[in-house]
A and B are shown apart, each in its own frame.
Chain A
Amino acid sequence: NAGVTQTPKFRILKIGQSMTLQCAQDMNHNYMYWYRQDPGMGLKLIYYSVGAGITDKGEVPNGYNVSRSTTEDFPLRLELAAPSQTSVYFCASSYSSGRQGSQETQYFGPGTRLLVL
């Protein structure tokens, strides 16, 4: 298993440009998450998904969009890049057999470093 993969590893964007950060997992996990990590800070949840076709906002969703058309993929879209979106973005996944929440381990991808100039 490759686990959680993210592409690209690094990207420089100009203000106002758009891009999609890709995330895929091959563990058949139903939960997937996007976090951002600013320098010297903890992780903040952007969006999450409890299954294909279901997404919800996290703590800092403004300026981002997501979709979950398949179990494996959970892309994050930046429509109009701003310097405040300079950060490292991590995708994660976990599995829950229950109807509500996942207390299981989250598996993280290696991250995408984004610089907006």
Chain B
Amino acid sequence: GDSVTQMEGPVTLSEEAFLTINCTYTATGYPSLFWYVQYPGEGLQLLLKATKADDKGSNKGFEATYRKETTSFHLEKGSVQVSDSAVYFCALPDSWGKLQFGAGTQVVVTP
């Protein structure tokens, strides 16, 4: 079945460091791919998405490219801020729209 695997955390970085969170997927067909972010004490919110191969989603300085050849959707940000401290989830919908989430990666950014 469809599934998502993302790197485990926590990932601890200093402010202005480069962030990469790896995400790979298995799926039948070519579903949309999502990154959701969960700030402390809040619900999930969409960070970015890509709907087809080679699409690049971007938002708030974060980027992720839908790579069909490597079945990956890695999240990157060139210079993180303390306010980026959160848990990040990679996700893809199955053919019935049910989201398959990765386990989540906690990111901690220190001043």
Asked whether A and B interact, the reply is yes
User: What residues make up the interface of A, taking CB atoms closer than 8 Å to B?
Assistant: 31, 33, 41-43, 45, 48, 50, 58, 90, 92, 94, 96, 100-111
Interface of B is mostly: loop
Determine which of B34, B36, B46, B95 lies in contact with A101 in the assembled complex, contact meaning CB atoms within 8 Å: B95
Q: Does B77 contact A (CB under 8 A)?
A: no
Q: Between A and B, how many residue pairs show CB distances below 8 Å?
A: 55
Q: Are B42 and A105 in contact (CB under 8 A)?
A: no
Q: Are B104 and A103 in contact (CB under 8 A)?
A: no
Determine which of B31, B32, B49, B101 lies in contact with A43 in the assembled complex, contact meaning CB atoms within 8 Å: B101
Known A-B contacts A41-B104, A42-B104, A101-B93; A106 and B99 likewise in contact (beta carbons under 8 Å): yes
A-B interface, 5 closest residue pairs, ranked by CB to CB distance from nearest: A102-B97, A101-B97, A108-B43, A103-B32, A42-B101
Q: Are B43 and A43 in contact (CB under 8 A)?
A: no
In the complex, given contacts A42-B89, A43-B101, A100-B95, what are 6 additional A-B residue pairs having Cβ atoms less than 8 angstroms apart? A33-B99, A41-B103, A92-B44, A103-B31, A103-B93, A108-B45
**Chain B 43-78 against A: per-residue CB contact (8 Å), 1 yes, 0 no?**
111100101000000000000000000000000000
What's the Cα separation between A111 and B103 when bound, in Å? 18
Determine which of B43, B46, B95 lies in contact with A111 in the assembled complex, contact meaning CB atoms within 8 Å: B43
Give how many B residues have a beta carbon under 8 Å from the other chain's beta carbons: 23
Contacting residues, chain A, for B32 (C-beta < 8 A): 103-104
Contacting residues, chain A, for B97 (C-beta < 8 A): 31, 48, 50, 94, 96, 101-103
User: What residues make up the interface of B, taking CB atoms closer than 8 Å to A?
Assistant: 31-32, 34, 36, 42-46, 49, 51, 89, 93-99, 101-104
Known A-B contacts A41-B103, A43-B89, A100-B96; A105 and B43 likewise in contact (beta carbons under 8 Å): no
Contacting residues, chain A, for B101 (C-beta < 8 A): 42-43
Contacting residues, chain B, for A106 (C-beta < 8 A): 46, 99
Known A-B contacts A103-B31, A103-B32, A103-B93; A45 and B42 likewise in contact (beta carbons under 8 Å): no
What's the Cα separation between A33 and B91 when bound, in Å? 15
